[in-house]
A and B are shown apart, each in its own frame.
Chain A
Amino acid sequence: MSRYLAPVFTVLGAIGLVYSFWLVFNDTPLQYSMQPSDRHVVLATGSGSLFFNQKIFFWHVPHAIMLFTAVGVAGVSSIAYLWKRNPKADDIALAAVQVATVFGAVTLLTGSIWAKAAWGHWWIWEKRLTMSLLLWLTLVGYLLVRRYAGASGERIAAGMAVFAMIGVPFIYTMVGAGDNHPQAGSEGNVATLNKDMMWPFWASMLTFLSWFIALTITRVQSARMEREVRELREKGLDSGVLES
């Protein structure tokens, strides 16, 4: 069963990618913001209209949501790993962090492109930007530790993932109340999106969720195989079948 999961989600993602691209460029209206009432977000900064740039929203938001999901997945599986010492949990944590690093990079890049168009700056120190950047830096730190800390790298990195998960609410509180991140929809959540944009948005969400699942499963499987090869090799060396 699990052998088919990754291919199925890959195919779903590939179909979804074509379909959601088509929807986003064909069906969603060109406009200033997600809602006419949100024009102040753009107009207040006096940097003109968004028009085409607004479409980046359909990639930016799903990637950002996957980034935060992955940090949760990595944190929970790291707790499981440190508690039960089951290396399978560690494989999941590593895969989640690897995929989250890529998704986080896409989030920051697409966000920067949007910000240049809307606010006139590539980067501002705004609540969610700061939060995403900090989380992303923690993930990169996790990968550096795994790579350079030798044999104990797995445990130390797992500890880092747990602390990172616990730290999320603190980062959220820290970056303060003045959240002027552009909101989707009239009431600030995607459930209140314009009707024209609702389905393209969800199509895009499902697409990137499929990619996320497909990539994570593939990474978990390859991490598992790498471990098995390593263990078999050690067994072979111990029994004298293999020579070093």
Chain B
Amino acid sequence: MSTLSHAARIAWKDLRIELRSREILYTMTFFGGLLAVVYSFVFPSNADMIKIAVPGMLWVSIAFAGTIGLSRAFDRERENDTMRALLLAPIPRLSVFLGKAFAIAVLVLGVAIVVTPMLWLLLDVRLFDQPGVLMLSLVLGSIGFALVGSVFSAALIKVRSRDVLLPVILYPLLIPLFVAGTSVTAGMLAGNDDKVWYWMGFLGIYDAAFLVVSLWIFESLVIE
């Protein structure tokens, strides 16, 4: 129990910093809006075509905005060298990881929740017909992204070229997650429930497997 309560405390610390400055939230919202504008001239303005492309647009936005938010969130620990303090704290390393990953998941989810209405608004696609399904897929996607992302962001914290290496590491490992998320959204738009729940299950199992590996590997990757 104490592992979880320590984790909650670390997560709350991260979220409180963000709530005070709102730095990541505002900049990511702006970035998400920019992406929607970019999409509007990258893809032909044909209603059918956009409908096919929107699931991909949504998850690519989450990937891009999430990556930037991720490196910013860990930069905060690096600037004051507080990552060392966290690791030295007399609490299990697992709590540090779980707290960090939870805070990141909430941030990524926040970005996703802001980007989705923008795509709906600017590209006129009915994304909100099944809000529950959409929300669940975004939650599962954010969790998977945050798990892998936190492991490698924490490991890269001392590396000079971390901003370049983070996507190099993350994207090949996360492609199954993004494909599954895109497929859930596509199935939802097409009204194909079988497809939606198949890929939702895929997302759930992916998250579970990567949670186990992350928990095991985090400690060996961040040792100073």
Residues of A that sit less than 8 Å from B by CB: 82-83, 134, 137-138, 141, 144-145, 148-150, 152-153, 155-156, 159-160, 162-164, 166-167, 170-171, 173-174
- Residues of chain B at interface, number, CB under 8 A: 29
Interface residues of B in 172-192 (CB under 8 A from A): 172-173, 175-176, 179-180
**Residues of B contacting A162 in the complex (Cβ-Cβ under 8 angstroms):** 213, 217
Interface residues of B in 183-224 (CB under 8 A from A): 202, 205-206, 209-210, 213, 217, 220-221, 223
Complex: A82 Cα to B222 Cα, angstroms: 11
Label chain A's interface by main secondary structure: helix
Residue pair A163, B158 in contact (C-beta under 8 Å): no
Residue pair B217, A171 in contact (C-beta under 8 Å): no
**Residues of A contacting B87 in the complex (Cβ-Cβ under 8 angstroms):** none
Label chain B's interface by main secondary structure: helix
Residues of B that sit less than 8 Å from A by CB: 148, 151-152, 155-156, 158-161, 164-165, 168-169, 172-173, 175-176, 179-180, 202, 205-206, 209-210, 213, 217, 220-221, 223
A-B complex: 4 closest residue pairs judged by Cβ atoms: A138-B172, A82-B220, A170-B176, A174-B176
Residue pair B220, A155 in contact (C-beta under 8 Å): yes
Complex: A174 Cα to B220 Cα, angstroms: 29
Complex: A92 Cα to B108 Cα, angstroms: 37
Shortest Cβ gap from B176 to chain A (Å): 4
Residue pair B168, A144 in contact (C-beta under 8 Å): yes
State whether A159 and B155 are in contact (beta carbons under 8 Å apart), knowing that A82-B217, A149-B161 are contacts in the complex: yes
